[in-house]
Amino acid sequence: MSALKIENLSCSYQKTAVLEALDLTLNDNEIVCLLGESGCGKTTLLRAVAGLQTELTGKISIRQKVLNDEKTYTPSEQRKIGLIFQDYALFPHLNVFDNVAFSLTNKLSKTEKQQRVDSVLSLVQLSDMSKRFPHQLSGGQQQRIAIARALAYQPELMLLDEPFSNLDQHVRFQLINEIRQLFKQHQMSALFVTHSKEEGFAFADRIALMQAGKIVQIDTAQKLYRQPNSAYVADFMGQSNYIGVTVVDKFSYQGCFGLLGSNSVIEHSIGKQLRLLLRPEHINIVPDLNGLAMVKQVDFQGALQQITVQFNQQIFIVKHSNHCNDCLQFEVDDKVTLTVLNHDFVTFESETNTE
Amino acid sequence: MISKSSYLYKLLPWAVTCILLCPIIAIFLSAFVIDESGSFSHLIDTVLLTYISNSILVILFVVLLSILFAMPCAWFVACCDFPSREKLQWALMLPLAMPPYIIAIVYTDLLDFTGPVQLALRELFSWQSIDDYYFPDIRTIFGASVILALSLFPYLYLLLRSAFLTQSAGLFQAARTLGLSPIKAFWRVSIPLSRSAMAVGVSLIAMETLGDFATVNYFAVHTLTTAIYDTWLELGSLTTAAKISSMMLLAIVVLISLENYSRRKQQVYQRNSNGSVDLRFTLTGWKKWGVLGFTWSLVSFSLFIPIATLVYYAVHYFTESLNDDLINYTMNSLWLAFLVAILALAVALIVNFYQRLSPGFAAKSAIRLSSLGYAVPGTVVAIGVLIPLTSFDLLLNDFLLSWDLPPVGLILSGSLVILVLGYLVRFSAIAVGSVDSSLVQVSPSLELASRTLGNGPIKTLWRVNIPLIKKGMLTAFILVFIEAMKELPAALLLRPFNFETLATYVYQFVSDEMIEYAALPALMIIALGLIPFIVVNRLLEKKR
């Protein structure tokens, strides 16, 4: 059974389409990240699932219960979802206990309420903070309380709207790990919005990359990085170099790096011109006094050096290890030779090619 | 986020808005009604031009004097450091609680031929009669303007002080590093940046001046406001009074537009503010004494001297002043102000929650329209509520008579209903604004969190919004309470027969020049205004 199913969902604002015929399925116990630039519609999609976006067409169901379609609109308060906000949205007039107990109705006895609050507070490791007020907590603690408050409601689905972006770098990734483990232990399905791919990599099982109201690719982080289905996805997921290549036969391309042998059968016709994606780590760089390439810029990046190289009237970004004392150090104007390392090649239609 | 069936959410705020707007529409329409009595055309032929020119002159003088008083004070308090600065920033606000007609009677008493100032001068220089020396007459347009400016300058002071405080310190620092002295930097950076605050303050003061009745009437300066009062109470011509009111409304519309335009600009100028506290420079020597002399003299003239004079008279005439009338009228004022403040708060909650529940153009319009009354002078509002309510009463009585039923009389226009409605039209805006400004500080995500945690919109308002805006609600209540305690022109025109408030009671003694009897009730008005004023400011400071 799917935790969440979105079918053909569209939404427009002042005649501009924000979401366009969007489909998405979230499996049980799965965390999916909606990733994309500002204004791509990811928050609108989250709000639509939460029932906070009313002008919609399409269908939204949680655990096969239809919440939104042509005839149905279930208000937010009846959807049984836990929504986590970027600004935590803790009620400043209530202490931690009352914040966490906010959704617990009077049908529960005082002891039951206490037990429920205690159990979720211990899950987020803040049992001793129940008397404090939100302003007395750090950002990370506030976000844990917000998660505890949502968990106390026993939601069927968690929605997280940029929940980590207000936190410091070191707190952020520690909290991401903890919450991911927590969700996995409790078999919680979650839809998570962010514009940071690093957060998406760390938190989600699958990433749905959005562009202009559509999901352009949905898959694991590794697949999105290594096998992007478009140059947009490739560029969004990491640094990219492109070279023009021609298909020579079923297993090789010809380009500025010479003949490149493919690990799999090339499905394009022989003679077809394509753009081949080269990540910086797929290019090897060696000093060579007779080399045809020249170093234009070197940037120190801790464990790596990022080297900008001009070769064949084109600029390439290359990464080189920096972690040992005797590692090669490159300098501007050094002559070098670039070679392509063996990997699963990814090609896109050439911009001039309309096959 | 409201379900489509919930028409009540929309109906109630619009009903409230329509009631509050009705008097203003009535005034607007009255401009097109033909005046059959001919008194308006008579007014045009005779004194209307004088009234208009007097109104313009008073406004001009008051504005100029207020700038002269407020701008240096605001700058000294915001940007300089000198002894008693913190006390002064408070003291300079307090004259707002002083009704100008009370300051007027005090200075008339002090500066008259028989007053202590001229007496002392005559004794000092052995002058025998008025022909032996020149002493300026306070009962002139300029005299009235000085009195009004003494009571109104804090509006401008408050706006300019906050403009100076919130201007980006970086800009001032940049000017200093580019070689400008603090004073030059102030003239070339701070003053141009506070132009919009100045425009807002000036338009507020102009509106208050245009609306003043008691002070100008006491000094026998005939303005448009006194003309309305005279035509209605003495000539009995509601149409003429309404026509003059519509002229004033036009002036108010111009001033509001100026204010709104300037407020929008002010927001741009005050972005990225980080306070200029660190940049205060310490005053020493003659500069320090000059600043202390100027600022504390202003506080003395607008606050200490009037209060001391009133205390002197109140003590000397205590037994004559403390009577049943005083107690009854104080109680009248208190419960009237309380009732109006509660109702205004209800109006504020209704229209603001409407906007919160279904944000959009319609809700914004409801807030704007329900707040229109704030700028309209009490006299104009009074005429505005008189028109529809007297028409209603007349129609009702005609209807009853046509069915051979006994007439009920002036059940709305002759009762307290009209007074309460008049006050509400005038003061709801204060409550609406105050509730609005605390509601916008409640992050929308708090409401969304509550909604997704199983609470409907009304429950969310009750459990999340209301607890978070309690201080804003209290502020709204107190501000309306203060205004309702002080309000005079609307009370004079709308009060039912034999009903007095503290303000009308004081004004009666003021117009009879009996300062000795006016003193104690006047001090009551000041105290009942000052104490809540201090409470509100403490609340607002804590909120920051």
The two tokens of residue B150 are 């003494």
* pLDDT given at position A233: 95
Put simply, the answer to whether A77 touches B1 (Cβ < 8 Å) is: no
d(CA A117, CA A110): 11
Here the ipTM equals 0.73
Mean pLDDT of chain B: 85
Residues with Cβ within 8 Å of residue A80, at least 6 apart in sequence:
A62, A153, A154, A155, A156, A157
The number of beta carbons lying within 10 Å of the beta carbon of residue B503 is 27
Position B170, amino acid: G
Cβ–Cβ below 8 Å for B449 and A85: yes
Instruction: Measure Cα distances from A55 to A21, A47, A73 in Å.
Output: 14, 11, 10
| Residue of B174 and B240 predicted with greater confidence | B240
Lowest-confidence range among A96-100, B237-241, B424-428? B237-241
Alpha carbon A8 to its chain's center: 22
The pLDDT of residue B242 is 85
Helix (H) or strand (E) holding B80: strand B80-81
Amino acid A72: pLDDT? 86
Confidence (pLDDT) at B275: 46
Q: Return the pLDDT at B266.
A: 58
Tokens read off for B3: 């379900």
pLDDT score recorded for residue A245: 95
SS3 B282: strand
Q: Domains along chain B?
A: 48-221+283-316 (1.10.3720.10), 317-544 (1.10.3720.10)
Q: Between residues B537 and B141, which one has the greater pLDDT?
A: B141
pLDDT of B276: 46
How close B359 gets to chain A, by Cα (Å)?
13
Contacts of B453 in chain A (CB under 8 A): 77, 102-103, 149-150, 153
CB contact under 8 A, A89 and B456: no
Q: How far apart are CA B523 and CA B308, in angstroms?
A: 10
Contact A277, A228 (CB under 8 A): yes
Dist. CA B362–CA B368, nearest whole Å: 10
Q: Which of A133-147, A234-248, A335-349, B161-175 has the lowest mean pLDDT?
A: B161-175
pLDDT at B277 over 60: no
Distances (CA, A) of B439 to A10, A33, A295, A329, B431: 32, 33, 58, 59, 12
Report pLDDT for B40: 79
Choose among B335, B328, B507, B521: nearest CA to B416: B335
Distance CA B206, CA B252 (A): 9
Q: DSSP 3-state assignment of B81? A: strand
Which of A73-82, A264-273, B74-83 has the highest mean predicted lDDT (pLDDT)? A264-273
Length of chain B measured in residues: 544
How confident is the model at residue B4, as a pLDDT? 46
- Residues of CATH 2.40.50.140 domain(s) within chain A? 239-349
Q: Is the dihedral of CA B100, B105, B106, B108 positive or negative?
A: positive
Amino acid, single-letter form, for residue B133: Y
> What is the average pLDDT value for chain A, to the nearest integer?
90
Q: How far apart are CA B430 and CA B476, in angstroms?
A: 7
The residue-averaged pLDDT of A78-100 equals 90
For residues B494-508, give the mean pLDDT: 90
CB contact under 8 A, B464 and A91: yes
Instruction: Give the CA distances from residue A63 to residues A189, A207, A290, in Å, rounded to whole numbers and listed in that order.
Output: 11, 21, 65
Binary contact (A81, B452; C-beta < 8 A): yes
Helix (H) or strand (E) holding B281: strand B281-282
Residue B299 has pLDDT above 90, yes or no: yes
Dihedral (CA of B44, B46, B49, B54) sign: negative
Which residue in chain B is spatially nearest to A92 when comparing CA positions? B468
Over range A130-157, report the average pLDDT. 92
User: Out of A51, A54, A89, whose CB is closest to B449?
Assistant: A89
Query: Which helix (H) or strand (E) covers residue B472, if one does?
Result: helix B470-486
Per-residue pLDDT, B363: 79
Of the listed ranges A157-171, A337-351, B267-281, the least confidently predicted one is B267-281
Contact assessment for residue A191 and residue A34, using Cβ atoms and an 8 Å cutoff: yes
d(CA A17, CA A210): 14
Q: Cβ contacts of residue A25 below 8 Å, gap of 6+?
A: A2, A4, A5, A6
Give the H or E element holding residue B366.
Answer: helix B361-370
Give me the mean pLDDT over the B482-503 stretch.
88
Section B466-489 average pLDDT: 88
Task: Delimit the CATH 3.40.50.300 region(s) of chain A.
Answer: 2-235
Supply the pLDDT for residue B129: 80
* Distance between CA atoms of residues A250 and A265, nearest Å: 5
**In this complex, do A153 and B456 lie within 8 Å of one another by their Cβ atoms?**
no
What are the structure tokens assigned to A208, written together?
A: 């749905």
CB-CB contact of A192 with A19 (8 Å) = no
Instruction: Categorize the per-residue pLDDT at B200 as very low, low, confident or very high, splitting at 50, 70 and 90.
Output: confident
CATH class of A239-349: mainly beta
**Cβ atoms within 10 Å, residue B159:** 24
Residues of A with CB below 8 A from B449's CB? 83, 85, 89, 91, 146, 149
The residue that leads in pLDDT, B337 or B280, is: B337
Give the per-residue pLDDT at B442.
86
> Do the Cβ atoms of B443 and A75 come within 8 Å?
no
Q: What is the pLDDT of residue B269?
A: 53
Query: For residue B337, what is the DSSP state?
Result: H
Number of H helices, E strands in chain B: 28, 2
What is the model's pLDDT at position A355?
38
Rounded-to-integer distance, Cα B95 and Cα B89, Å? 12
Q: How many CA atoms lie within 13 A of A218 on its CB side?
A: 17
Residue A77: its chain B contacts at CB < 8 A?
A: 451-456
DSSP B544: -
Q: Write down the pLDDT at residue B405.
A: 85
**B200: which 2 tokens?**
């807002």
Which pLDDT tens digit goes with each residue over B371-400?
Answer: 777 778 888 888 889 888 888 888 998 888
Beta bridge partner(s), residue B281: B80
Closest residue in B to A151 (Cα) is B453
Residue B462 pLDDT greater than 50, yes or no: yes
B448: chain A residues, CB-CB within 8 Å: 50, 52, 76, 83, 85, 89
pLDDT, one tens digit per residue, over B211-228 is 888 899 999 899 998 888
Report which residue type is found at A280: P
Q: What is the mean pLDDT of residues A280-299?
A: 93
Interval B486-507 mean pLDDT: 89
Does the pLDDT at position B419 exceed 90? yes
CB within 8 Å: A52 and B448: yes
Q: Do A81 and B455 touch (CB under 8 A)?
A: no
- Residues of chain A that touch chain B, judged by Cβ-Cβ distance less than 8 Å: 50-52, 54, 75-79, 81-83, 85-87, 89, 91-93, 102-103, 105, 146, 149-150, 153, 159
**pLDDT confidence bin for B247, thresholds 50/70/90:** confident
Q: Is the Cβ pair A91, B451 closer than 8 Å?
A: no
Q: Do B453 and A103 touch (CB under 8 A)?
A: yes
For B3-53, what is the HEC assignment?
CCCCHHHHHHHHHHHHHHHHHHHHHHHHCCCCCCCCHHHHHHHCCHHHHHH
In percent, the amount of chain B with pLDDT more than 90 equals 28
Q: So what's the pLDDT on residue A277?
A: 96
Q: Which residues of B427-437 are buried (b: 16+ CB within 10 A; e: fewer)?
A: bbbbbbbbbbb
Torsion of CA A218, A223, A228, A229, to 10 degrees: -50
CA dist list (Å): B154 to A342, B116, B117, B503, B543 = 78, 28, 27, 21, 21
Q: Identify the pLDDT of residue B142.
A: 94
Mean of pLDDT values over B451-468? 89
A chain contacts of residue B445, beta-carbon cutoff 8 Å: 85-87, 89
Per-residue pLDDT averaged across B182-207, rounded? 81
Residues of chain B with pLDDT > 70: what percent? 92
Question: Tokens representing A7?
Answer: 């079918």
Predicted pLDDT of residue B216:
92
CATH code given to domain A2-235: 3.40.50.300
Burial class (CB in 10 A: 0-12, 13-18, 19+), B39: middle
Give the one of B448, B456, B463 whose C-beta lies nearest to A89's C-beta. Answer: B448
Kindly state the average pLDDT of the residues A7-13. Answer: 90
For residue A79, which of A145, A160, A158 has the smallest C-alpha distance? Answer: A158
Chain B residues with beta carbon closer than 8 angstroms to that of A103: 453-455
Of A276 and B441, the one with more pLDDT: A276
CA dist A248 and A266 (Å) reads: 10
pTM, rounded to two decimals:
0.75
| B53 has pLDDT over 90 | yes
Quickly state the pLDDT bin for B268 (edges 50, 70, 90): low
d(CA A220, CA A224): 6
What's the rounded mean pLDDT across residues B111-133?
Answer: 86
Task: Provide the pLDDT for residue B56.
Answer: 94
User: Which of B453, B461, B469, B473 is best to mutate for the A interface (most A CBs within 10 A)?
Assistant: B453
For A200-255, what is each residue's pLDDT tens digit? 999 999 999 999 999 999 999 999 999 999 999 999 999 999 999 999 999 999 99
Short-list A78, A10, A46, A29, CA closest to A191: A46
Distance CA A78, CA B33 (A): 56
pLDDT at B294: 96
Residues B452, A82 contacting (CB under 8 angstroms): yes
Q: Residue B2 above 60 pLDDT?
A: no
A76, A87, A90, A98, best to mutate vs chain B, most B CBs in 10 Å: A76
Q: SS3 sequence, chain A?
A: CEEEEEEEEEEEECCEEEEEEEEEEEECCCEEEEECCCCCCHHHHHHHHHCCCCCEEEEEEECCEEEECCCCECCHHHCCEEEECCCCCCCCCCCHHHHHHHHCCCCCCHHHHHHHHHHHHHHCCCHHHCCCCHHHCCHHHHHHHHHHHHHHCCCCEEEEECCCCCCCHHHHHHHHHHHHHHHHHCCCCEEEEECCHHHHHHHCCEEEEEECCEEEEEECHHHHHHCCCCHHHHHHHCCCEEEEEEEEECCEEEECCEEEECCCCCCCCCCCEEEEEECHHHEEEEECCCCCEEEEEEEEECCEEEEEEEECCEEEEEEEECCCCCCCCCCCCCEEEEEECCCCCEEEECCCCCC
Say whether pLDDT at B485 is over 80. Answer: yes
Q: CA B149 from chain center: how many Å? A: 13
Whether B236 has a pLDDT exceeding 80, the answer reads: no
Hey, is B274 helix, strand or coil?
Answer: coil
Beta strand A16-27 pairing with A65-68: unpaired
Q: Using CA atoms, how far apart are residues B17 and B428, in angstroms rounded to an integer?
A: 10
